[in-house]
Structure 1
Amino acid sequence: MKLPSAERLRWLTRRLSRISVVEIPYRVGSFVRTAAQSRGFWDARQPPPLLAKPGFGAAWVWAPALSEADGRDLEADAETLLARGPRIFGLDLDFSAAAPDWNADPRTGHPVPLDFGLSIDFRHMAGDIDIKFLWELNRHLWWVRLAQAYAHTGHSKYLQALGQHLARWLEACPYPLGPNWSSPVEQGIRLINWSLVWHLIGGANSALFEGSQGQALRQNWLCSIYQHMRFASDNYSFHSSGNNHLLGEAAGVFVAACTWDCWPASQALRSSAQAILEREAQKQFSSDGVNWEQATEYHGFALQFLLAAGLAGRAAGHDFSAAYWQRVESAMVFIAAQMDCQGCMPGFGDSDDGEVFRLGYGKGTADQCLLAVGATLFQRGDLQAKAYAVNPAADKAVPWLTRQAPPPTAPDRLSELPRHFPEGGLMLMGSNLHRGDEVRVSFDCGPLGCLGIAGHGHADALSVLLGVAGEALLLDSGTYCYNSAPQWRKFFRGTSAHNTLRVDGEDQSIYGASFLWLQDVNTRIHAFSEDGAVIHASHDGYTRLKDPVHHHRRLSWNAEAGCLTVEDWLECQQTHGVELFWHGTPDGQMQWDGAAQRGTLAALRNQLQLELSGAELQGRVSCGVETDQELQGWASHAFYEKHPAPVLTVAAQLKPGQVLRTVLTVRPR
């Protein structure tokens, strides 16, 4: 096992500072286990023989009868994959001349050596390698599309392509070597997609396994499946690492054990994985349905793990508890409530466009597809009405996962969807929510993140988003990247990239690394009205200052005037310098009138006026600033994409209790 680099040692030192005393034995055990596995001890290089009567679980996915149009869309996607390969983070891969190099960065072509996987420092890779591209290719979501096309058409070309990819992957990626064995959550995701492929191509009796070569391929695949199950379960991400990664690892092991009950250890692996999922469903999702990572994109990602495990377990006769399914349903309701009339979720926290599996085709985001599945699974007419309203094509995945008929739509019940998620920390305000003319205000009253490190959380406490009829006016700046550009990662996670208040030029927490904050930020909701007209909250991120500060923010919505009043003040003993940020859409033009203390944002269809008072102010508008001293005025709507976007920064000196007031008034252009 390689010794860690100086850069990795610095990261490890900061990372260890965020663990508790009870976690230390786990970390020591993990180090010993990893060192032993690197030398071939306690690992799965020699899988046990198959059971005399291996069990193959019932399918949790099947090929429905498709309309002619849906069949064409499915085949068109599959033909593109056959001809060229998948599209990953905006990059079109081209497999027309050669098979993919499974151990090379698809973006640069640079290979990653077949070292012991857990020793690969994927956070700090040389040669401009970004492992996200490699992992995305190797999650094999796109294999499922080929399997769907085969299940629908019966054309052997799709099955042959899958067989070729699988054989080459198994040869190129031996356990436990290389980048595809460097993070156990990747094993979990791959197992879920392999299970989908297995069922769609016919299971153990698939034509892919005919003849001696087919039988050898099946045997090699089953060996790798066992090794995947062992690798994920041997390296479960417990304690401060137990976020969506732990869900993914356990879900992959559970789905695999339900699909392939082929080894003496299968039932024990399944039982332990199910116990983890039962516990983590309650732990990682609040009772009002919000994922504790405080990242709305990861809400759907984590929910996909619970859904895959739940459906696979139910099909195999190993169903989960009512409490588990209640958390899944609550998480679906959260999506329906938070999704705007155009099908977009608020962008709080990290977003890397990740999906666990993808059965839908054509138009439709992952969250839209989840909502459509949830509507049918729980027979909720309100969810069905929301799914159908935002995207009638979002239900493409539904008949592949459930044979239930969708419920009748109940648009009259959309107004009953909750506005307030006080335990999860995300609140809604506005008028005509869930209608085409809605004014939607999203208020982040949640903590920085979970488990001490807040790996996917941003320093965005008390941030406000505002949209009109699906047009975002005030938005979250986004994520852009993870490890590939540290300066951009720090900016997009920082307080200045969000519609909130920064005190004394400091982030709300202390930045430790790309997925590490060094101080907790706790929030408190002091009051909110049931009609959604007023919300008052505060956070303690600045209590670390020499003069401890609590930042308070009160939002008041006046439906008749179409205006939102935002009042900010500091609970402290001394005067502090503050900066208030208002980030506009990239499609908009922002102006500042210093004499009138007024800002104006003109978007494509709507206009927002910002009138400020309560202190002596200095304002400036920035857009696309990129210097050694400052990054500001950028927005990222997709991973690895960023665009200049206007931001109004208002600076002031605030005395204790002095209120800085912003009145935001919406007008059509």
Structure 2
Amino acid sequence: MHLAMAALLLEQSGSTTPSLLELIRLHLQRIAPTLRYAIAQDNNHGTSEAAALFIGGNWLATHGVREGERWQQLGRKWLENRAARLVGEDGSFSQYSLNYHRVMLDTFCMVEIWRQRQASSRFSPRWYARSLAAARWLYAMVNAENGDGPNLGANDGARLLQLTDTDYRDFRPSVQLAMALFANARAYETEGVWNLPLRWLGVELPQVLAEQPGSCQFDNGGFAVLRRGAVMAMLRYPRFRFRPSQADALHLDLWLGGRNLLRDAGTYSYNTEAQWLSYFPGTASHNTVQFDDRDQMPRLSRFLFGDWLKTSYLEPIGEQVGAISFAAGYRDGHRASHRRGVRLHDDSLVVNDQVGGFRHKAVLRWRLEPGQWLIEGNALSNGEHVMQVHASVPIVRFELVGGWESRYYLEKSQVPVLEVEIHQPGSFITEYRWAS
């Protein structure tokens, strides 16, 4: 696929050397027999290998290579299948990951750019509808100020289409390209490096500006995005049609402009010490409640949890005077229950956590923006923002501890984490207040 994009950049896709065509043929000859294995994983492996077969097969076919047409049709078939199965009607992707959503979307963009340049027949209306929905999903999650977004799900450094010198965590180039291709609209009005991929790949920048993201619920994947001006809260709730890679039910991210005030830990590494393999995907590395020192779901292997959670309570996004709200809840395999209600105001976030059914203890965690946080009673402050936590039952422990996050693969750094512990069923009320 990178060879194909390079050929487009160098205007060599129509007059390719025999040696390069042979290299493409050998690649596809390797991919085709094992395609079913990639498809069975229900993730980016299937979308990427289908894309390679379509692009490479078309490339070979236009140069008279006999196997090319068969591989092209095989790739087209599975691209259609993967979009229909792995991308929900609301754009949610099977991997529940911001980074792997970008990988999938960049793949579909490369496919569509190649198809247009080669004047091949269009894909089905459903394929374009799912691609558009996926573009809008990423657009809704990404902060326009710096291009960053919640550190959701698996984040191993994968970045398929790098045509800018932007930071790895700047998703705007992918958003702009996908919105231009599938919405015929630009996500970002001003000139910036996010337009470079369009120029490199010969995609016209639309004149129409896409509607700015508002509050929205992506129920196929289990995401609620609440917005008030420059503030965004994202609540993750369990809708697992595909295997979850993290025990992150009811995790809450909070953003003020480009600042990630309440944050996810990320991934760090797939191949490291057992403590990190357990910590980063586990419940303790998320802004949620942990029961009895265990994960919300039992771990079966390095990449697999069992007894997938199901949402048992849902209150859709609602508008009140001066606030927007959402709520969801679950009951796990041990009969412990957690229901979280979120209200976002212009200058504060209020979270109501109702918990019960646990054996010994429930620990609420808030993973904070790095800074000098100090505890005063049942509140803590960094001199700019204030967080208060109250409970309907006695608080056994109210402690600021050191936690970890990994914004980039194989890199980890410490973050302050507030832990609030109770030993009886009850509720927590958290208020996070910033200057309006």
Q: Normalised by the size of structure 2, how large is the TM-score?
A: 0.90
Going from structure 1 to structure 2, the CA distance change for 1:231 and 1:608 (only over 3 Å counts) comes to farther
Q: Name structure 1 gaps, 5 residues minimum.
A: 1-191, 210-217, 433-437, 624-632
Q: CA deviation at 1:247?
A: 0.8
- CA offsets 1:463-521 (integer angstroms, 9 cap, x no match): 11112122111111111112244431321111000000101111011223332223322
Question: Which residue number in structure 1 is paired with residue 225 of structure 2?
Answer: 428
Q: 1:451 to 1:239 in 2, by over 3 A?
A: farther
Letter in 2 for 1:570: V
Distance 2:87 2:291 in 1: 31
Asked if structure 1 preserves the Cα contact closer than 8 Å seen for 2:313 and 2:328, the reply is: yes
- Aligned equivalent of 1:515: 303
SS of structure 2 residue aligned to 1:360: coil
Q: Which residue of 1 aligns with 2:355?
A: 570
SS of the aligned residue for 2:7 comes to helix
Task: Give the letter for the 1:420 counterpart.
Answer: Q
For 1:17-96, what aligned pairs fall within 5 Å after superposition? none
Q: Does 1:336 align with 2:139?
A: yes
Between Structure 1 and Structure 2, which shows a larger proportion of helix residues? Answer: 1
Which of 538, 542, 557 aligns to 2:344? It is 557
1:47 aligned partner: none
Whole-angstrom distance in 2 between the partners of 1:238 and 1:351 = 19
**Are 1:374 and 2:178 matched, yes or no?**
yes
The match for 1:444 is 236
- Give distance in 2, aligned partners of 1:428 and 1:591: 29
Q: Is the 8 A contact 2:91 2:133 kept in 1?
A: yes
| 1:414 equivalent in structure 2 | 212
2: CA distance, partners of 1:529 / 1:409: 26
Paired residues, what number? 427
Contact 2:132 2:183 in 1 (8 A): no
For residues 521-573 of structure 1, the C-alpha deviation after alignment (integer angstroms, 9 at most, x for no partner) is: 22355112343722111124x22x2xx123211112233xx22221222354x
Query: 1: CA distance between counterparts of 2:226 and 2:112?
Result: 33
Displacement of 1:608 in angstroms is 3.3
Equivalent residues in 2 for 1:163-562 (5 A)? 192-203=1-12, 218-219=18-19, 221-236=20-35, 237=37, 240-261=40-61, 262-316=64-118, 317-342=120-145, 343-361=147-165, 367-378=171-182, 380-381=184-185, 383-385=187-189, 388=190, 392-409=192-209, 413-414=211-212, 417-432=214-229, 438-447=230-239, 451-452=242-243, 454=244, 457-524=245-312, 526-531=314-319, 533-540=324-331, 542-543=332-333, 545=334, 548-559=335-346, 562=347
Radius of gyration: which is bigger? Answer: 1
Greater fraction strand: 2
Cα shift readout 1:388-418 (whole Å, capped 9, x = no counterpart): 4xx72211111223442432446xx426x45
Structure-1 separation of matches of 2:59 and 2:338: 51
- Corresponding residue for residue 591 of structure 1: 374
Q: For 1:659, what is the secondary structure of its paired residue?
A: strand
Structure 2 alignment gaps of length 5 or more: none
Q: In structure 2, how many angstroms separate the alpha carbons of the residues matched to 1:362 and 1:648?
A: 33
- Kept in 2, the 8 Å contact 1:313–1:320? The answer is no
The residue that corresponds to 2:398 in the other structure is 619
- Provide the aligned C-alpha RMSD in A: 2.5
Amino acid at match of 2:349: L
Cα separation, 2, equivalents of 1:331 and 1:368: 14
Of 578, 582, 586, the residue aligned with 2:366 is 582
Distance 1:651 1:240 in 2: 42
Q: Secondary structure at the match of 1:610?
A: strand
Distance 2:140 2:421 in 1: 34
CA contact (8 A) 1:597 1:613 kept: no
Change (3 A) 1:485 1:460: same
- Sort the Cα spacing of 1:525 and 1:252 in 2 relative to 1 into closer, same or farther, 3 A: farther
